[in-house]
Structure 1
Amino acid sequence: MEINAKLQKQIDEVRYLTAENASRYRVIMRFFYLQYERMKYWLYKEDVFEELKKHSQFEDYTMEQLKQDLDNLVQWKNLIPVQDTSKVSSVEEFKNKQFRYQISDYSIEIERMIIKLETLHVETASLEPSLLERIKEAFIKIPQIINSDEKVANQWWKDLNSDFERLNKNYKDYLGSFYSLKAEEMMKTSAFLLYKDKFIEYLRNFIKELQQHIISIEGILKQINEHTENALLLKIFLHEKSIPKINNEATEEEIKENIESKWRNIKNWFLPSNAKESEATRLLDITNEIIRKITRYAAQISESRNSAANRKEEYKKLAQLFTTCKDINEAHKLSALCFGIFNPYHIKTNAPRSTESINSSPYDEIPSLYIIKPKIRNYKEKSERSPIKSNLEKKEITLQNILKSRQQEQELIQNYIKNGIIDFSNLPKIPQSIRISLLRWLSKGLNSPDFTSKTETGIKYKIVPPDLPNQKCTIVCDDGEFTMPAFKIIFRDGS
């Protein structure tokens, strides 16, 4: 797959399908499409308004709303507006911009797709062996097509693609229906047994035709050499290129690549490539799998029927036994024998056993005592009371250590202050802790509006930028070197 700008581009033309007023936009676009099919390409807003007002859903619809909807459709490139100046008799009429609207090419294809989706449940797919026969005859005609003119080659190419698309679509839609949830449920019902034999016979006839035609088509395609193939595709390309088209953005290379890719798809459908089986072989496997699936479901339905018939006799016998019981206690005993104990309690533990034998009875186990906790939401175990430990001593030690380390750090920093200034460009080699403190002060000062801040001990300072623009300096530390702008830290009290 090639990812290009066209593939990643957002398609604005489909916005009218999901916009807030999609119910109005779709009706307007369907009207434009129907008029296009009747070869009426240009419409005024009055034409659209007159048509919409015929329907009860648009009783309260106004011309102002229509104008706004048409502007939105123009913005989304669904309609192409052209100002009509043929009936303009004054400057005021020209300023009002009386437009004619035409449906765009993208919108035509979108409406065709929507109409197809709306009638999708009506159209039924099927497996037509006649398409395979027509494709085989088309391949047989290739030597004649090579010696014919470009028009004949182009018509042959269109017929071949049309048959191949129908074959590919029909078999995928028909076989895909067997893997739907609705089909799964239907095949588990007893009513499916009436259609089982018809389905299997239909699929087996298709497999038989497919096997016969695939062998012939494979032999024909293997006999076509590269020279014949190139000559055939060249004829189709030359005819396609010679057709004059308005606003044709496709280049010759794109037209050629489109033809070659379609030919490769057709070949790969019948011939294996790159150690992969052909699509026709996969179709045979899928069809056989569906036949096995249908047979398996039918066998399960038959078994369940027989099982139900046997159980019916057992229930009759059991009912007779209950009618012969003397009293309710005897009926309870019979019920316990037939159905077991109702609502038994099963208790399971992970306590160590005295023996690992699987033949030992629960009565042979040593009795133990277990505390069972109630299964209610509000139940909480009593927690043991524990006094709160005092950590004053630890906190005091931690505080003294922090103050001591800061005092030591301040004493070290005093060694780098010259006349109340720390100049980063003149610093000697410094330890890691000093570097962290200096950069912390620098960050706090730079983040303030006036470049001033305070140290941890309350001493005010100001950050002064480098004397020259882009002036840099290198700081040497115990753990490495880094380059930064030559800032200065000036303390207010001179300390």
Structure 2
Amino acid sequence: MRVTEKLTRPLTEAKYLNADNADRYRSIMRIFYENYEKLRYWMYQEDVYEEMTADPYFADYRMEQCQQDLAMLTEWKNLNTLQDTRRVSSIEEFKNKKFRYQMSEYSVEIERLVIRLENLFVEGASLEPTLLERIRLNVERFEKMAKEDGNTVYTWWNDLNNDFIRLNQNYQDYIRDLNSVKAEEMMRTREFLVFKDKLVEYLRNFIKGLQKNVGVIEEILKMLDSDILETVLGKVNDYEMSIPRMDVEVSRELIEEKTRGRFESIRNWFVSADGRENEAGRLFDATNEIIRRITRYGAQISERNALGANRREEYRKVAEIFLRCKDLNEAHKMSAMVFGLERPFHLKSEMERVTDSMDQSVYDEPAEELILRPRIRTYKEKSERTSIRDTRAEKAQARKQAVEQMKEDWKRIGELERDGRIDFANLPVIEPRVREILLKWLSDALEDADFGARTEDGRNFVLDMTHRDEQCVVRCEDGNFTMPKLSIVFGEDGGL
């Protein structure tokens, strides 16, 4: 925080909101604001009086009161005045000072805030996965922005910051509403059961958006080159300095501090550092906790409704149905439907479920086939008689292919070795098979206390852990992955 004169001075522009006769002051300021929105910046006292008396609430409003109210608002710096000398035809009229009134800059912003507060519960907050996607797309354009002109970079920077501010404010407001006393009371009511599934689905969709975009944004910001970042932020600062401002003198130091602070806010929201959990992780945990609480309350409501049900009427209805059965066989069927089967068969399967959702019915999942065999000692499955085949040729062919594959692997890995070492940070684009071999060697060495191991052809090697705190990107034909900056150093016992 930097203490300035603007910070320490009393904000007299806000007095009209809670002063005596606030209903008159606020109505006048709302008239000025609505005209300001219509680009009508200057108004006469007669114009204000006419609009005030048009409402029945101010039917007894007098011109003298209007003049006093305008004078008080001018004293509080809510209105700026300018004497109108265009219609003056005598010295007496000039002395009476016919003024035109205009809203001050502070008053415009105060009225905007008041209107937002008035519509706070109407607008409400929301969780929008599309904001995360838009932020991800804008963050991916960082390197491209280093080559664009200042106007394009500034527009992109404003879009990124506006989306981030909306995301941050909306999620805080929405989570606050779900954790409020009113929400807790609603979750305990029976009517909440109808709303529960829709709310849980809404939160799960947002979590999917988090999982899809946050990891990508974090990786991009971690790997962002510092020179590119400084170039982009420098273009934003240059454009800010080039904007003409009336009666306001802005230093480059303040603009650079503001721009850097906004970037750090975005980075801290998505990137974890120094063992500190980022804001996206906390939002993920908070959303999951809300889903668990909603599910728990729903189960409690269902149990409470089941315990409080009147069983007498249900039993009477069941007895009436039994009396209408035509014969004993139909009564047995009715009994099985009401009380269940007397000796049911329990079929158990080890099938893998398509989804773990508690809302998924067993009827919506694919059927599992079970082969039932007799449970007697004398039962044996029929076995087909087959002749012994000579598979020596197939084995020889398979062995030959395996040896050729191994030679090809050693050849490709040998091309990666430089001066008796393989540096993961300097690898070219490698094939999945080569990647599997290198990662297996890496895994074998990490299991050893001295970080050493032996390859399949008998070569000893150790891991160079000097730069293990740094990160590098290994590029493969089927994708890239990030790992510590390690190197495999071979011994003096022969080459690949």
Query: Does TM-score exceed 0.5, indicating one fold?
Result: yes
Deviation per residue, 1:388-408 (Å, 9 max, x gap): xxxxxxxxxxxxxxxxxxxxx
* Residue identity opposite 1:252 in structure 2: R
* In structure 1, C-alpha distance between the alignment counterparts of 2:3 and 2:108, rounded to whole Å: 25
Q: Secondary structure of the residue that 2:148 maps to in structure 1?
A: coil
Tell me the TM-score normalised to structure 2 length: 0.61
Partner of 2:209: 209
* Residue identity opposite 2:167 in structure 1: L
* In structure 1, C-alpha distance between the alignment counterparts of 2:284 and 2:204, rounded to whole Å: 10
Partner of 2:254: 254
Q: Secondary structure of the residue that 1:122 maps to in structure 2?
A: helix
Q: How many residues align?
A: 316
Partner of 1:160: 160
List aligned pairs for 1:227-242, cutoff 5 A: 227-242=227-242
List aligned pairs for 1:188-203, cutoff 5 A: 188-203=188-203
Partner of 1:71: 71
* Residue identity opposite 1:297 in structure 2: Y
* Residue identity opposite 1:141 in structure 2: R
List aligned pairs for 1:39-118, cutoff 5 A: 39-118=39-118
List aligned pairs for 1:394-405, cutoff 5 A: none
* In structure 2, C-alpha distance between the alignment counterparts of 1:197 and 1:56, rounded to whole Å: 47
Partner of 2:293: 293
Question: Aligned pair 1:147/2:147, yes or no?
Answer: yes
* Deviation of 1:224 (Å): 0.9
* In structure 2, C-alpha distance between the alignment counterparts of 1:242 and 1:249, rounded to whole Å: 12
* In structure 2, C-alpha distance between the alignment counterparts of 1:227 and 1:102, rounded to whole Å: 47
* Deviation of 1:146 (Å): 0.7
Q: Name whichever of 58-67 and 301-310 sits farther off.
A: 301-310
List aligned pairs for 1:332-347, cutoff 5 A: none
Partner of 2:245: 245
* Residue identity opposite 2:103 in structure 1: I
Q: 1:237 to 1:312 in 2, by over 3 A?
A: farther
* Deviation of 1:275 (Å): 3.6
* Deviation of 1:98 (Å): 1.1
* In structure 2, C-alpha distance between the alignment counterparts of 1:54 and 1:305, rounded to whole Å: 56
* Deviation of 1:137 (Å): 0.7
* Deviation of 1:301 (Å): 1.1
Partner of 1:7: 7
* In structure 2, C-alpha distance between the alignment counterparts of 1:69 and 1:252, rounded to whole Å: 41
* Residue identity opposite 2:284 in structure 1: L
* In structure 2, C-alpha distance between the alignment counterparts of 1:103 and 1:2, rounded to whole Å: 28
Question: Aligned pair 1:183/2:183, yes or no?
Answer: yes
Deviation per residue, 1:203-222 (Å, 9 max, x gap): 12211220121111111101
Q: Name whichever of 105-114 and 118-127 sits farther off.
A: 118-127
Q: Secondary structure of the residue that 1:80 maps to in structure 2?
A: strand
Deviation per residue, 1:315-349 (Å, 9 max, x gap): x9xxxxxxxxxxxxxxxxxxxxxxxxxxxxxxxxx
Partner of 2:123: 123
* Residue identity opposite 1:47 in structure 2: D
Equivalent pairs: percent with the same residue? 52
Q: Secondary structure of the residue that 1:20 maps to in structure 2?
A: coil
Q: Secondary structure of the residue that 2:122 maps to in structure 1?
A: coil
Deviation per residue, 1:88-135 (Å, 9 max, x gap): 222211211111111000000111111111122221322111111111
Partner of 1:136: 136
* Deviation of 1:311 (Å): 8.3
Deviation per residue, 1:164-206 (Å, 9 max, x gap): 1121122122222111111111100112112222222221221
Q: CA RMSD in A?
A: 2.1
Q: Secondary structure of the residue that 2:121 maps to in structure 1?
A: coil
Q: Secondary structure of the residue that 2:123 maps to in structure 1?
A: coil
Tell me, which stretches of 5 or more residues in structure 2 are unaligned? Answer: 317-496
Tell me the TM-score normalised to structure 1 length: 0.61
* Residue identity opposite 1:13 in structure 2: E
Larger radius of gyration between Structure 1 and Structure 2? 1
* In structure 2, C-alpha distance between the alignment counterparts of 1:194 and 1:50, rounded to whole Å: 51
* Deviation of 1:3 (Å): 4.4
* In structure 2, C-alpha distance between the alignment counterparts of 1:152 and 1:96, rounded to whole Å: 53
